[in-house]
Amino acid sequence: MKPTQILSKIQLAVLTLMMNFAFVWTSAQEKAADLKVDVNVDKGGSSAGIMSNPILWVAGALIIILIVALAARGNGNSRA
């Protein structure tokens, strides 16, 4: 091997290590994540409205399923 090839490989390795060190250093400078979570569940007020009632959602879903089933069934008089 020629001495210049060895020197260029060493330079490349040193440059790579320096770049990795710089990347780790800049990543370590970032601010830590803010993990404070404030959950406010209002169960007592009527401000949520009618759309938050699960019984109405179930009843509405059943009505839609019934309408789709009746529409898909048809009247049975069609000839193929």
**What is the pTM for the complete model shown?**
0.36
- Residue-level pLDDT at 77: 63
> Where in the chain are the domains?
1-28
- Residue-level pLDDT at 39: 79
Arithmetic mean of pLDDT, 16-25: 88
The region, left, alpha or beta by phi > 0 then psi within -120 to 50, assigned to residue 12 is alpha
Distance CA 68, CA 71 (A): 5
